[in-house]
Chain A
Amino acid sequence: MNQKSLKKEKRVRSGTLAGKGTDQMLSRYVPLQAEVIDIDVESSNTYLISLRPLDEEDETVRLDYCPGQFLMVSVFGLGECPISIASSPTREPLQICVREAGKITQGIMAARVGDIMGIRGPFGNGFPVDKMKGRNVVITGGGSGFATLRSLINYIADNREDFRDVTVAYGARTPHDLYFTSEYGSWQAAGIEVGITVDMMDASWKGNVGLVTSLLKDINPSPGTAALCGPPMMINAVAKDLVSRGFLEPDIYISLERHMKCGVGKCEHCTVGHYHVCTEGPIFSYDVVGDLL
């Protein structure tokens, strides 16, 4: 086996480093500063944090992103972790939804208005919103995975005429774990079908109880596109259900969650098979990652 014969078969990019954009390289791991401008409590352990990215002169920087992308968020002294962008690019401000999980998320949630955190990104491919246009869209999620879907839902709500029937099916463990409850009304007002369910109800709950798949009744697969994010077991069940209803596997998009350290395809923590979730994902179609879930 020989390197040279292998090289002939494969396209080889020129590997010289000299003359590449050095300025661009300097900023790869150095974050942008972002000021916390608002904090909303979504649930007992989840905050929606609004950020104002700053340039060196303390002026606001507008981040160019699309639904489904993520940021590497830093709390200096604690470290950096990947967090989905929860806001839609059609709206200000930039928002992240953070659930208390480890020491960095605890650090992010300890921030007060006016504090500075670091952000890098946006990273990842995002949902293929252009491919979804002119089609029926089903958006299904569970747990904290709903944050990235909220970005897509608000994007669709703001460009409603570009899409056909839009259905949101969202499940949480208990009524207290539901996020963005104040926005469901505005989604419905924009002509989006919204179904909510919980695993465990309490005395105040009058809605659905059970699996999110039970909410997917009158959905039209032709032409249909689905966007999913949530626990792997739920994603698998929903994707199988959608396929059985006539959705094509390449039209089912899944946002994957993985451990990440760099966000730029170098550190190898997020690999799934030969894919880097940070650069080639986090959104993959079901035919690509179905058997890797």
Chain B
Amino acid sequence: MPGNGIHEKVMPGNAIQQKVMPGNAIQQKVMLAKPRLAREQIAQRAALELPDGAYVNLGWGIPNLIADYLPKEITVYFHSENGILGMGRRAKSGEEDFDQVDAMKVPVTLIPGASFFHQADAHLMSRGGHLDVAVLGGFQVSEKGDLSNWKIPGAKDSGGIGGAMDIAAGAKTLIVCMEHTTKDGAPKIVKKCTYPLTGLACVDTIITDLAVIDVKPEGLILREVARGWTAEEVQVLTGVQLIVRQQIPEMSFA
């Protein structure tokens, strides 16, 4: 998988295998008051994970912002579950065609080489391992890479699954973009998901307003932290022990 090389980066010399301990309530309160990245910055960081020429599906929420931050020198073929490959930018006022919409019902443009197909083929691309990267929003991600992203427990309405389960089951690389904690400050990266599940062991990378974390068989490996944050501070707001193997670099945006 091109672009994934960074996941496998081995630190020079004898890498430090250091475990950072979870924080106490006072530390958590202090950490929750610290500034974090904006949603747009999460999207901007995630855009750097997309390899040139990749077929990519973007889910609702933060992932939907990623297309605006693609580096100029690369071309990505965005996939929409309603049967489009090669979506371009959103249509401007006056050029909208409401038969040409994305999964959020927004009129879009096409890039050269785009194609249309029916919904079964669109999901076949998701499930059959044809998409290089999918980026979804998340409510919770577990230590094993389980994802919950479609229903909040106790919600009165019906909830809705959409294409998320097909994508979780089949994308070659699944990135989840989300805030690091809930609005109440509870960690969204957890030992075991307590929200209704979308898929088991499906997430490869988590990008939050505090960190970039890779899901590996040995655990969650901290790759980058947001400016102004240390590994120890990120750990305080994380429900799982993070593996810290190196001096953690600051999240890059270019």
Chain B associates with chain A: no
Interface residues of B (CB under 8 A from A): none
Interface residues of A (CB under 8 A from B): none
